[in-house]
Chain A
Amino acid sequence: MNDSDPTQVKRRDFMQLAFGWCSALFALGASAVAGARYIVPNVLYEPDQRFKGQKPEDYPEGTTFLSDIRVFLIRKGNSFRAVSAICTHLGCTVNRGADGHGFHCPCHGSQFSDNGEVTSGPAPRPLSWLLVSLSRDGRLIIDASQPVEAKKYLVI
C-alpha cells in the first residue's frame, strides 16, 4: 500500500472506523432503544375496565351511575345503554343534568345531550357509548374499554 496516496485508506484507519466507531454507535443506539422501550410498561395493574353488574331487572328505570368504571347505565323499559362519564375534554367526570337529561362537566363547562353529543363547551368529541352485554348467569356486563357506535342498545 502506498503511504502517500491520499485516496488510499490506511488499514488502521479503516479498522478504527469499521470496528471502533460502528460498534460504539451501535452500542449507543441499542442502549437508547432499549432504554426507551424499558420505560414503556408491558403489564398494567389498572382496575378492570369490565364491570359485572346486577341482573337487568334489578336496575331501576332511568340512570344509574357505576362509579367503579365511571359509566352511566341508562335503562328505558327493556333497553339498556351505557354512556361513559369521562369528559372527552380533559377527563373529568361529568354529571347527569339536574332534570335527568343531558350531561354536564364541572371542569370547563362542557354540556352533552342525552345521546352524549356535545351541545356546548370545549369538549371535542361526544361521550362514548360502551358495550353492554349479558353474562351467562344473566347479569349485565359493561365494558368501558369497548366503545360502540352511538345508539347501540342492549334489548332484553
Chain B
Amino acid sequence: MLQRVWNAFRASRVGRSIFRVGLPASNLERAQVAISSFLLHLQPAKVHKRTLKPSTTFGLGLISLYLFLILGVTGVMLMFYYVPATDAAYQNMKDLEFVVTAGRVLRNMHRWSAHLMVVFVLLHLCRVFYTGAYKPPREFNWVVGVVLLLLTLGLSFTGYLLPWDQLAYWAITVGTNIAGYAPLVGQKLKFLLLGGHMVGESALIRFYTLHVIVLPGVVLMLVALHLWRVRKDGGLARPDEPAFVQQELAPGQLPTSKTYGLMELARGSTPAVGLAPEDVVFTWPNLIFRELLLFLAVVAVVLVLAIFWNAPLEELANRVHPPNPAKAPWYFLGLQELVAYSALWGGVVVPGLLVTALVLLPYLDRRRRGLGVWFARERKVALTLFTVCLIAAVVFTTIGSLFRGPNWSFQVPWKPIPAEEQAFH
C-alpha cells in the first residue's frame, strides 16, 4: 500500500520534480543519485573501500557533525521558552525542567550533546593526528579543523552562562578573568566580551547572541568548507599506492586503466585517479547507509543519556558568594589547574602555545611518510611529542575536575566533603 502511494507520487509531475532519480536500482542511478541530490553530493559517487572500514576514522568527525545537528535542533526548541534576561533566565530553565512538556529531555539532550561534542571533536583531532591525515594536501583542512575546535569550545562556553545559576555565573566570571590576563589586549577583551566590567545583563545578551547565531553560523559555514575540502583533497587520507601513482605515460598516451567523469576530477590523489576499479565502491548504498546508521546510534545514545540523567541546575546566580570551589567548565579545568599556579602561564602562555603549535603542525611536519596509517613507525618524534602533550592535558584536566575540593585544596574524589567546608562563611 505505502509502496503504491510512493510509486504514484514518484511518477507524478510533482514527485519527479523533487526527486530526480528516486531510489536507485542500477549502477548508473547509484552514481546519479549521489551527484544530483543536494545533500548527497557532498560525497563523490564512489568512495575508496577504506572509507567504509570503521577503523579508518571511527566516524569521529561524523559523530561531531551529528552532535552539532542535534544541538541545532534542540537549541532552537529551547529558544521558544528561554529569555536572555538576568531576572527571567533562571526561571525559564526551571520552567523547562518542571512545566514544559518534554522540556527537561530537550534541555538534557542539548547539554549532553554539547559535552559530547567537545569530547568527540577532540577525539577526532587525535584520530586525524595519529593517522597523519593532516599531511599534504590536507594541511589547510587541519587548520580549518583547529578553528572549528576553538569555535566548539566557544559555543560551549557561551552556552554555559545562559542558565544563570551559580555554576554558570562563577564559571564565566573565572573564565573571563582568565582572558583578562592576556598581555595588552586582555582587559579590553574581557570588557568587550562582557559588555562591561562584570558578568551582568549585557554579558548575558552578548553570550546569548554569540551562542545562538554568530558562532553556530560560522561553524555551519566552516563545516561545509571542511567537508568540501575532505572531498577535494582526495577523500580520506590513505597511504600512497606506488604501483599506480608511478605509472609512467609516454607523451600523448592516455591512461588505460580507468575512465572518469569531470565531476571526479580533483587535484592530488582524487578518489578515482590511479585506482583499480575494484578498490572503489558506490557511495549509495554502501556509505550512505552506514552514515545513517551511525546517525541513529548517536541520536539513540543522546536520548538515553537525556532521559536518565538530568543536566545540573544549581541555585540562582549569587554575585556575592561563589560556590566553593568555583570551577570553569571541565574542558578548561586543565587550564584552571595551571591558573592555580600562575594565571599568566595557565591563562595565556600555555593555551597560546598550544593553539599556535596546532595551527603550524601541518606546515612543519610535511613529509608524507606515514600518511593514512595509525601510529606509523616513521613518525616516532611527532607521535611522542603529541602523546606527551595529550597525557599532560588529560592529567591536568583530571586533577582540576576530580581532585580539587574547597579552597582548591587537593582532594580525593571518593571522600565526601565535610559539610562545614562547603558552606559559605
Contact = CB atoms under 8 A, between A and B. Distances in A.
Interface in B390-413: 406-409
A92 B406 contact: no
A107 B409 contact: no
A106 B322 contact: yes
Given A45-B202, A90-B178, A92-B170, A109 B196 contact: no
A98 B424 CA distance: 12
9 contacts: A45-B202, A46-B196, A67-B320, A106-B325, A107-B170, A107-B325, A108-B340, A109-B408, A124-B344
A104 interface: yes
Contacts of B409: 109
B320 A109 contact: no
Contacts of B182: none
A139 interface: no
A133 interface: no
Interface string A76-95: 00000000000001111101
User: How would you classify the secondary structure of chain A's contact residues: helix, strand, loop or mixed?
Assistant: loop
Interface in A50-71: 67, 70
Contacts of B326: 92, 106-107
Contacts of B324: 106-107
Contact of B322 (A41, A45, A107, A109): A107
B341 interface: yes
B43 to A, nearest CB: 36
Instruction: Across the A-B interface, give the 7 residue pairs with the lowest CB-CB distance, nearest first.
Output: A106-B324, A90-B177, A95-B425, A108-B340, A108-B408, A92-B322, A109-B408
Interface of A: 39-41, 44-46, 67, 70, 89-93, 95-96, 98, 104-109, 122, 124
A46 B174 contact: no
Contacts of B339: 89-90, 108, 122
Given A46-B197, A106-B326, A109-B407, A90 B174 contact: yes
A91 B202 contact: no
A89 B338 CA distance: 13
A128 to B, nearest CB: 14
B177 A93 contact: no
Contacts of A107: 170, 174, 322, 324-326, 408
Interface in B172-213: 173-174, 177-178, 191-192, 195-198, 200-202
B343 interface: yes
Interface string B294-337: 00000000000000000000000000111111100000000010
B342 interface: yes
Given A122-B343, A124-B343, A106 B174 contact: no
A46 B177 CA distance: 18
Given A92-B174, A104-B407, A107-B174, A98 B192 contact: no
A109 B408 CA distance: 6
B198 A46 contact: yes
A41 B340 contact: no
Contacts of A96: 425
Nearest to B338: A122
Given A89-B343, A92-B170, A122-B342, A45 B201 contact: yes
B202 A90 contact: no
B195 A41 contact: yes
A153 to B, nearest CB: 25
A108 B170 CA distance: 13
A147 to B, nearest CB: 14
B173 A92 contact: yes
